[in-house]
Amino acid sequence: MQTGWERLRGHREQIEMFRRSVSRGRLGQAYLLTGPEGVGKKKFASILAQCLFCQQHGRAHLEPCGTCHSCKQQAAGTHPDFSLVELLPGKNELLIEQFIGPQERRGKEGLCHDLSLKPMSANRRIAAIDDADKMNHAAANALLKTLEEPPHGSLLLLVASNADHLLPTIRSRCQEVRFGPLNSEDVAVLLVETGIAESAEDAAEIAAACDGSLAVATELADSELRAQRRALFDALAADPYYSVETAARVMSSIEAAGGDAAVQRRRAAWFIRFCLDFYREVLEHMSGVALQRDVNLSRADSLRSRFPAAEADAVEVVGSLIERVVVAQQHLDRRMSVGLCMESLFDDLGRMTRAACAV
């Protein structure tokens, strides 16, 4: 069984950074772990705590033994000196009672209270806040008091995908540690290990399309969604380009996702993402960048051959197609009707592609 850091793929630099801080006795009291969703930030926080709690290995080692009582407790999520706050089921924000207790027990429960207690078995208390960017205002202000005067020896780990959504006063009191996307080999291995992908081939296809996020990869494990992605790629590369048919096919897939408006918007967002993936592939193919994604060379070639011969002109055309897709994303975010958003997108992409090919 894997113990410690090998449970985590990638992020070696971040591990080394903490290792250096601990070995020099310079571990801070509050860190903000930021970066894309689904790359392992929360798991990182939990393993870091395990390292610091481990009774067997010296802390400077920053590698848990995996066998001592503390290591086992932390791995099982039952270490008495570790507190975790995360979104409660059905909630989309972190609430003040999770930090300082419910109204009738204010200041007697919650993460801020727990952190102020003496450690039970380790030599420090550690708290992690997942989705810290989803704290509501009251919760953020409650946490701010703890950040201003952190209890002696405590360690607070905030995990956030959108650090910009945090109060500046909170952000400025944390040391920020940035996490990048996972590379596609790591994602593929994780998908097979966790059983999310059914085969190595599926894992490779998903990994190539998920931008290094396991969260995105998990959604792309839906084979129907991936089939839609392939069909859209073919439609975008088709010659001649039939925008009406493409829009109709996309809309019927969106409607097939169910009657719920939020589900339909989510499906529409996927199609917009797939368009971006497609044009980015074409762009990378043109500029000869090492191709990391699932580039279908003949597809990219067939599209390239229809664009202006001059490299710079062709790049400009694809750049403007990408810009148009980004606008569709903004339309969707601003609650434009899904049908209108998709129809106008594919209509414009068709018009722009035909105009460029006619040159």
Interface residues toward Zn ion, by CB under 5 A: 54, 56, 64-65, 68, 71
8 A C-beta contact, residue 336 and residue 268: no
Q: Buried b vs exposed e over 131-153: b needs ≥16 C-beta within 10 Å?
A: bbbbbeeebbbbbbebbeebbee
Q: How far is the CB of 155 from Zn ion (least distance, A)?
A: 17
* Cβ within 8 Å of residue 171, ≥6 positions away: 32, 163
Q: How far is the CB of 158 from Zn ion (least distance, A)?
A: 25
Q: How far is the CB of 126 from Zn ion (least distance, A)?
A: 15
3-state DSSP assignment of residue 160: strand
Q: How far is the CB of 119 from Zn ion (least distance, A)?
A: 16
Burial class (CB in 10 A: 0-12, 13-18, 19+), 168: exposed
- Of 56 and 329, the one with the shorter C-beta distance to Zn ion is 56
For residue 55 the two structure tokens come to 């009774």
- Of 68 and 286, the one with the shorter C-beta distance to Zn ion is 68
Q: How far is the CB of 74 from Zn ion (least distance, A)?
A: 8
State the Cα–Cα distance between residues 228 and 303, nearest whole angstrom: 19
State the Cα–Cα distance between residues 251 and 341, nearest whole angstrom: 10
- Of 32 and 155, the one with the shorter C-beta distance to Zn ion is 155
- Of 54 and 247, the one with the shorter C-beta distance to Zn ion is 54
8 A C-beta contact, residue 69 and residue 55: yes
- Of 155 and 328, the one with the shorter C-beta distance to Zn ion is 155
Q: How far is the CB of 129 from Zn ion (least distance, A)?
A: 24
HSE (CB half, 13 Å, CA atoms) of 162? 5
- Of 65 and 327, the one with the shorter C-beta distance to Zn ion is 65
- Of 3 and 136, the one with the shorter C-beta distance to Zn ion is 3
Q: How far is the CB of 52 from Zn ion (least distance, A)?
A: 10
Q: What share of the chain is helix, strand, coil (3-state, %, to 5)?
A: 60, 5, 35
Phi and psi based region of residue 129 (left: phi greater than 0; alpha: psi -120 to 50; beta: remaining): beta
